[in-house]
Structure 1
């Protein structure tokens, strides 16, 4: 039982809470109904805390360094309404330990400040949410406690009790039969904080269940506004209340937090471009992210429906099942891929996937089995490799299905085409959209040299990164983040709006977040989406549109 809260305990609590949030993510996502039932609160909280852990991994163990890492990591990593509010709460605790260990009175003040910061973050605070839960925790933290461990246990218990009362405060929760998702995540974090100080919260840490908790199928048109827009804003303004009010005129769920040159902005709106341009009046937006609520809810619904479908009938070896909700397509989509994360992305877009794109190792037998077992007579194939493309052409006349083989050079090309496939329903329209996507997308890769390599951009020693854009080596160097940023810059030189990055096998969370920050600084007007691709050989695969 610790009499104080110090930087070491805060660090341990952050690391533990990330593990616990990952274990509870599916349950939290399933409970997410307010302010939009898009089933992503658990995911957003995990992403927020991943950024904090990555920042801590780069910092020393000295209290000021830990405090800075928690503040900056939570600000940069904050995702969604709950992530932004959690960042404010973490900021208060970081401030409390920056100068040294915090005693009972200082922790009580930290809880009070956390509540004030959380409420101040949003334009229109709502009870029955994470705000009510942190407020109850702060109330319990006041008064007489023998030590900080006892105080944190009391706060976590009060938070759990308040969480159970959220349906009484929020009709949407009562109607859905759930408690507030953001509040669920905060209870997980506060319990981790209590345990890190030696407290006993009276129940075990969350554990991921063998069968994933599935969110219910939601109404795709239930969101008041079409988009969630969030971005970092480089601004020297001391106060951004005017921006908060302007955003409130075009949407809701407005949250603006930060200071000292860096801010996090969040809004739900129908005017996604204006949401960013309003920020430009106060500074320089970066790392812009836009979520289409209807599309996100639709994708979640598809995963839920697919998971409920019996998997007793197995497809040919190496072939993954096509999602049920994509069966309205007149043509099945087959994609050759590499990496578990890459396969998942293609499957979410409606594709049947086979492994073997990187080195063209997929066999003719596997290709034929996938095509001949397709659920539709028309089949579109994305080979994502030139050798596989040529082999498919040679086989084309032997298929019993009507097969269209698109010349996708790599998985980045193929991903752009697969996204276009998801936007059309009849075969001709799908092919037109996919061919157009293949023409407009620019792709690049970053790999690590295993032998000395002479390139037009210089000599790459073993272990150095080699950056290739549109088939040409554009940069080499020892710093892989700088090389990756160089490739991205080359790809978006023609004012392209979207950069998709697939991280390869072995890329750490820390490296991924370093790249995210570098791209946000270097390409502030480009929306960057980074996914865990897990592909071998290529450290990064990029596509710019």
Structure 2
């Protein structure tokens, strides 16, 4: 079905483009993963681009939802949301560069001083700013990569005339032509017989831009290169064999062992110093963002030093460290043994670094949910894949993630993975479920046991109100301490410890054998000792366990079994 074309680049066009780009990257994800041999042949470029685009699309949808029936967001609102969503959700080298491309476009589209920014002239300016800003974000730009494809798209757009549809089509054709010659620009691509994976993803994104403004998706055809292996649906078995062989080794022997990514709150001057330090530590350095928030990506041997550099520059968070997994593999005859799929795994969404460590120690694969930044379904699907199991028990640990987790489970099932979704509504319910998990049992029996343990755990949390609101316990003001039991506000107070004690007493009035306390970073230091003493004095047969949850949003999570 043809897409209804957008006439100008307004908020609805941004929304449409993000949705179509996500669909296009979803269709091409496996193809792009398969040709990913640079800068590291870890086969995840398509997935990383998809997850980055998904975060951008979700941010734009959130802006539209906020308006409801009161109107429509402005172009500036939608463009900034797109850029911010991509920035906080950027994954890998390719996703980080895509985030900067979108940020460059948003800088032009969100400039309200020029009305022409909504037409073909504005799109030409946006594509040029995108290409230039992405190149500036990379410490050592390399030709034959997505940077070359982006520059060619901008060049072609500048040489075109007409409305947004004509400019988008020119950019798309320029990008396709540039993609086709990437094997001749980068030796590792030529050896593997593939085009650049990141560039292939950008072509898909630009194809979605064409569809946004013309109503028709560009016809999928093979790139004009004899060296391509699997581009736009065309496969060359010999070249794909070379790509598969390359995927079992780093693009360049002796490359760094770790990929480090984190968001960073820091001033511009501190980031300039950070770039210099990280450039000396490793390679594939990309730092994107601005206005106090940055996404940092680097490949290093010393992951700790890369994180420490971020701490010196500002406040790093959402830290992801991935071992490329090549140095520890024992090989015979130069071949890497295939990783064997395990029978069963647990995948859990957790609200803080401390709980992530606890769940990981218990054998679970985790997805970190930051306050105000719930994971998208694609991120959960990726965690299910990363668990590399035939059977997966999924713990969303948040009532608001019910539909997101269900969509992720359904996607994983289409890939042949047996997934059981246990509707845990809090991380403490997930802890109870994980405590009775036994991989040696039949899958159904294990799921029933875990579900029963989660269901038998009542949950609560203590948090601080962000704004005035009506609740079941009355009107709260910003700054009030709230005690929520099973998701409903039951206590409104001014002191964290007394509010927590009231919540705990109400929960234990119905009985219980075990109290679980998960402390957030901002919880008072003495609260755990106070509550443990309260349980010992008033509830003699009840045990208490305490965990540190880290930056988890709530001051305190409480579970009663």
Identify the TM-score tier after normalising by the shorter chain: 0.5 to 0.7
Question: Alignment partner for residue 147 of structure 1, among 160, 163, 168?
Answer: 163
Contact 1:346 1:353 survives alignment (8 Å): no
Q: Output the CA distance in 2 between the equivalents of 1:159 and 1:476.
A: 63
Q: Look up the match of 1:216.
A: 244
Question: Alignment partner for residue 187 of structure 2, among 160, 168, 171?
Answer: 171
Q: Look up the match of 2:61.
A: 57
**For each residue in 1:257-279, what CA deviation from the matched residue of structure 2 results, as whole angstroms up to 9, or x when unmatched?**
11111111111001111101111
Contact 2:109 2:126 survives alignment (8 Å): no
Q: Look up the match of 2:275.
A: 244
Does 1:289 pair with 2:320? yes
**Deviation, structure 1 residue 128:** 0.5
Q: Look up the match of 1:534.
A: none
Contact 1:153 1:199 survives alignment (8 Å): no
TM-score (norm 2): 0.57
Contact 2:460 2:487 survives alignment (8 Å): no
Could you say if the C-alpha distance between residues 31 and 53 of structure 1 is closer, same or farther in structure 2, counting changes exceeding 3 Å?
same
Q: Look up the match of 1:12.
A: 16
SS where residue 240 of structure 1 aligns? helix
Q: Output the CA distance in 2 between the equivalents of 1:336 and 1:278.
A: 29
**Deviation, structure 1 residue 5:** 2.3
**Deviation, structure 1 residue 110:** 1.3
Q: Look up the match of 1:430.
A: none
SS where residue 273 of structure 2 aligns? helix
**Deviation, structure 1 residue 520:** 6.4
Question: Alignment partner for residue 259 of structure 1, among 283, 290, 312?
Answer: 290
**For each residue in 1:96-140, what CA deviation from the matched residue of structure 2 results, as whole angstroms up to 9, or x when unmatched?**
322255222222221111111010011000010000100110010
Q: Look up the match of 1:180.
A: 196
Q: Output the CA distance in 1 between the equivalents of 2:162 and 2:388.
A: 58
SS where residue 218 of structure 2 aligns? coil
Residue pairs, 1:135-534, within 5 angstroms: 135-198=151-214, 200=216, 202-203=218-219, 216=244, 218-219=247-248, 222=253, 224-238=255-269, 240-294=271-325, 353=391, 412=434, 460=485, 487=518, 489=520
Q: Output the CA distance in 2 between the equivalents of 1:22 and 1:169.
A: 27
Q: Look up the match of 1:47.
A: 51
**Deviation, structure 1 residue 351:** 6.0
Q: Output the CA distance in 2 between the equivalents of 1:475 and 1:78.
A: 43
Does 1:71 pair with 2:83? yes
Number of residue pairs matched by the alignment: 380
Could you say if the C-alpha distance between residues 158 and 344 of structure 1 is closer, same or farther in structure 2, counting changes exceeding 3 Å?
closer
Q: Output the CA distance in 2 between the equivalents of 1:257 and 1:241.
A: 12
SS where residue 249 of structure 1 aligns? helix
TM-score (norm 1): 0.58
Q: CA RMSD in A?
A: 4.9
191-200 vs 274-283, which moves further: 191-200
Contact 1:132 1:162 survives alignment (8 Å): yes
**For each residue in 1:473-532, what CA deviation from the matched residue of structure 2 results, as whole angstroms up to 9, or x when unmatched?**
87999xxxxxxxx957289999xxxxxxxxxxxxxxxxxxxxxxx986869xxxxxxxxx
Q: Output the CA distance in 2 between the equivalents of 1:107 and 1:250.
A: 38
232-241 vs 184-193, which moves further: 232-241
Question: Alignment partner for residue 93 of structure 2, among 81, 89, 94?
Answer: 81
230-239 vs 241-250, which moves further: 230-239
Could you say if the C-alpha distance between residues 278 and 149 of structure 1 is closer, same or farther in structure 2, counting changes exceeding 3 Å?
same
Q: Look up the match of 1:28.
A: 32
Question: Which consecutive residues of structure 1, in runs of 5 or more, have no partner in the other structure?
Answer: 308-319, 324-334, 359-384, 386-407, 419-443, 467-472, 478-485, 495-517, 524-539
SS where residue 520 of structure 2 aligns? helix
Q: Output the CA distance in 1 between the equivalents of 2:184 and 2:505.
A: 59
Could you say if the C-alpha distance between residues 353 and 64 of structure 1 is closer, same or farther in structure 2, counting changes exceeding 3 Å?
closer
Q: Output the CA distance in 2 between the equivalents of 1:112 and 1:476.
A: 61
Q: Look up the match of 2:355.
A: none
**Deviation, structure 1 residue 80:** 1.2
Could you say if the C-alpha distance between residues 13 and 476 of structure 1 is closer, same or farther in structure 2, counting changes exceeding 3 Å?
farther
SS where residue 286 of structure 2 aligns? strand
Question: Which consecutive residues of structure 2, in runs of 5 or more, have no partner in the other structure?
Answer: 65-72, 222-230, 235-239, 330-334, 346-362, 366-376, 397-421, 423-429, 440-456, 462-471, 473-481, 492-502, 508-516, 526-548
Q: Which has the bigger relative contact order, CA under 8 A and spacing at least 6? A: 1
Could you say if the C-alpha distance between residues 91 and 297 of structure 1 is closer, same or farther in structure 2, counting changes exceeding 3 Å?
farther
Q: Look up the match of 2:406.
A: none
